Each structure stands twice: as structure tokens, then as C-alpha cells.
Structure 1
Amino acid sequence: MTRMQKTLVVLIALVGLIGGLAVNRILNGNSEFNPAELADAGIILLPQSRAVPGLRMTNQDGQPVALDQLQGKWSLLFFGYTYCPDICPTTLAQLRQIKSQLPEATLQRLQVVLVSVDPERDTTQQLKQYLGYFDKNFIGLRGSIADTQTLANALSIPFIPADTSKPGYTVDHSGNLAVIGPDGRQRGFIRAPFSTQKLVARLPQLVKRD
């Protein structure tokens, strides 16, 4: 066998080995983290994580919650309100559908959080009742409008406070989600509109990371 032939045999063997390892990772669910695949699903990661303001709000059970208490799980944080006519019910229904298709291991590491941009009407009782229509495990938070704006601006998901003196007022807000890591820092965004199937496929890839 010539030197050239020996080199080709070695190269073919290496290609086969690499291919086999790649197939093994895929079959065992251990494929490597791929930011491009996440981006295709609308999950945009920040180059560097951001600190979340250390604010205190109240949850739907009337209990005080410090935002750093969101640590330990991945949080999909949505700014909305219970009287929203379109974006909010659509978003929450879609998140419920996504959760219903995720594996249990992913669900254990994931939580959905609605931060009210309408604390004037969104009492704790109203939040609890509203979120119960979608998923009893969804978390609702309310705070002062000033604190809510501080949080929204820090996460780059601003909203426009409403003129609450007008009857039947609405609040202009984004449909995007902020992605908070288990360390309590913002890791990125999920852009609206959402692709249910792509998020079902990619969220497990995201939340298995620390």
C-alpha cells in the first residue's frame, strides 16, 4: 500500500469515527448547544447576560416576591395584563400549548411569568383568576407602575403606560418574552410571533444549560 493510500485509509477512518460519534450524540439526545438553531426558533441569546433589577413585587397569591427568587429555573417573562384584548390571551394560550408538548425534564426547569403592565386593574385576585384559565402553574406578578417600567426597560421590553382615567383603556406593550436563566440574569429574548413546534423542539436544548 502506498503512502497516499495509507493516508486515505486513515482519513476515511477518522471521518467514519466522527460521523459515528455525531450520530450517537443525536440518538442519545446529547447534541451540542446550537445558537443558530435557537435563533431559527426565535430564541435570541445575548452576547453577555444582564443583571435583573432587584425589585420586589407581589404574586397572584398576595405573597411578596423578590425578582432574584426566580433563580433555580429558566423563566419566560412576559409583560402583559388581564384586560388585554389580543396579544396576552393569544400568548398565554400558545405558551400553555407549548408546555403541554415539552418533556417532563424540561418542564421541571421552566416557568412562565406574567408581569402586569396594568396594576391599576390587575389585583392579585384578578391575576390568579385570569392565569388559572390558562395554566395554574403560571406565575403572575404586580408592582408599582414605576417599578414595572424599570424592570421592562432593563430587559429591553418597554411598554407605554396607559392613561387610566379613560374608561376601557388599553396598554401598548410587546409580545416578546425575556429569557431569565437559573442564575437570575437575563440570557436573551424570544421574539413574537412564536412558532409552537420550533419552540417545542428547541426549548429543551436551551434549558438543559446551567
Structure 2
Amino acid sequence: MQPLPHKPRGEIRIPTLLSLAALIAVLYVAFEARSPAPLPETGPGTRWLEEPRSLQPFSLVRHDETPFTSASLKGHWTLLVFGQSHCQAICPTTLGTLNQVLQAILRGGERAPEVVFASLDPEQDTPRQLTLFLAYFNPAFVGVSGKTAEIEAFARQFGIEPGRSEAAHSAGIQLIDPQGRLTAVFLPPFDAALIARDFLRLSHYLGRGRQAPPARPESPSLP
């Protein structure tokens, strides 16, 4: 009987090495897919919510007298602000800044978010009044009003207590994602260039599939 050929200790066949390398590559890809990408750098006035917050159902009215509900916030990004058309300075300044934000985003060839102005004075801010008021800034802006109780309930979801105009002015610009969830807040003082930049960074971050954790069905309380 012929003796078996001697196999040196420590010898590893090439197919074994290739299999091991393939396994390591698969594990690396799987790890990368599960690991969230680092949050993009944003300005000091941009507050990112690590857990996006769902909104309770609501039923309001747009300036064109069509319904404005939770479904109206889905399928696109939204920049939402609260105020009144008879505001003398802060609301007009904020809306002017938002128009600059949209123009900056559009100049970069990106899809601009929808801007929604929710009135805290529904008795005065009728659909016609909102249409005339917003036309000074951008006819594409959406004005929202409704019954007083419904507006107040909607505002409280963003930590705004109706009847306190200073609370609305300090609440900032709410960023709502295409799933209709509150995702970030831009706090005053506002800088159009920084808001446009941070909006693009955050929307691209989420658009690459790095979704934040599932939303909590509760009303946010923002200081």
C-alpha cells in the first residue's frame, strides 16, 4: 500500500481562502446595511428629532377651500409655520425668508418642499384673506385655517399654546417628512441659506434609506 502524501502543517488551500474572504465580505456588507449613517452636519438653529413624531389626525381647510388633513402632508416634504395675517413684522419676515429658501433649493435643481402657513386666528384669516396675504410672498404657499377648536388642537401638537403669539413666533419652522411626521425644527433667528442647506442635507440623508426609527404616535412637546 502506497503511503498517503504528506501534507505540510498549516497549509490552507486557495479555495478555502476564497470562501473565507467571501464570507467576510458578506458580513461586512450586512453590517454596513444595518448601521445608520452619521447624521449630516447642520447649523446650530436646526434641531433634529432622533425619533420622528407622528401627528394626530386633523381636519382643516386650505386657502382654496379644499380639505387639509393628515394625508395632505404625505408624499412630499413640508415646511410649516404658524402665525396670523395681521402680524406686523415677524410673520411677514418669516414668510419672506421661506420664499428665499425655496428659491435657493430650486436654483440647485432640487425639488422644493411645500410651505404651509397655519393661521392661529381663523376668525379673521378666512380662505380669501389667506389667499391675498400669501400672494405677496409666493402664490405657491398654502394657507390653512379652520374651526378654532381644530386649529388649536393642531397647534398644540407642535407645542404651541393658542392665544400666545410669542409662542408661535418662537416655535420655529417645522420640517415634516414625506410620511407626515415631524422630523426637525428650524429655530429663529432664521438664515435662508442655512435652512436651504440643512433641508437638503437632511432630506438627502433620509432619501438614501437611512430612515429614522419608527414614529411614536404622540403629540410632541417642544420647548
Q: Post-superposition, which runs of at least 4 consecutive aligned residues in structure 1 deviate over 4 A? A: none
Residue 153 of structure 1: how far off its partner (Å): 1.5
Aligned to 1:204: 200
Residue 143 of structure 1: how far off its partner (Å): 1.6
Residue 46 of structure 1: how far off its partner (Å): 1.2
1:34 matched to 2:39? The reply is yes
Equivalent residues in 2 for 1:44-55 (5 A)?
44-55=47-58
1:61 matched to 2:57? The reply is no
Aligned to 1:27: none
Residue 73 of structure 1: how far off its partner (Å): 0.9
For residues 34 and 106 of structure 1, do their structure 2 counterparts lie closer, same or farther at Cα, with a shift above 3 Å needed?
A: farther
Aligned to 1:185: 181
Taking structure 2 as the reference length, what is the TM-score of the superposition?
Answer: 0.69
1:105 partner letter: E
State which of 84, 104, 107 in structure 1 corresponds to 2:109.
Answer: 104
CA contact (8 A) 1:58 1:142 kept: yes
Aligned to 1:9: none
Residue 33 of structure 1: how far off its partner (Å): 6.0
Aligned to 1:174: 168
Deviations 1:56-96 (A, max 9, x none): 11101011121222101111110111001111000000111
CA distance in 1: counterparts of 2:174 and 2:110, whole angstroms: 21
1:205 match: secondary structure: helix
Unaligned runs of 5+ in 1: 1-31, 163-170
CA distance in 2: counterparts of 1:131 and 1:202, whole angstroms: 24
Identity of aligned residues (%): 29
CA distance in 2: counterparts of 1:122 and 1:56, whole angstroms: 16
Aligned to 1:132: 135
Unaligned runs of 5+ in 2: 1-36, 208-223
1:161 partner letter: G
2:110 partner letter: A
**Is 96-105 or 73-82 further displaced after alignment?**
96-105
Deviations 1:180-210 (A, max 9, x none): 1100111121111112221232221122324
2:186 partner letter: I
Aligned pairs, how many? 166
CA distance in 2: counterparts of 1:173 and 1:85, whole angstroms: 16
Residue 41 of structure 1: how far off its partner (Å): 5.0
Deviations 1:4-44 (A, max 9, x none): xxxxxxxxxxxxxxxxxxxxxxxxxxxx7634x22x25221
State which of 95, 98, 118 in structure 2 corresponds to 1:95.
Answer: 98
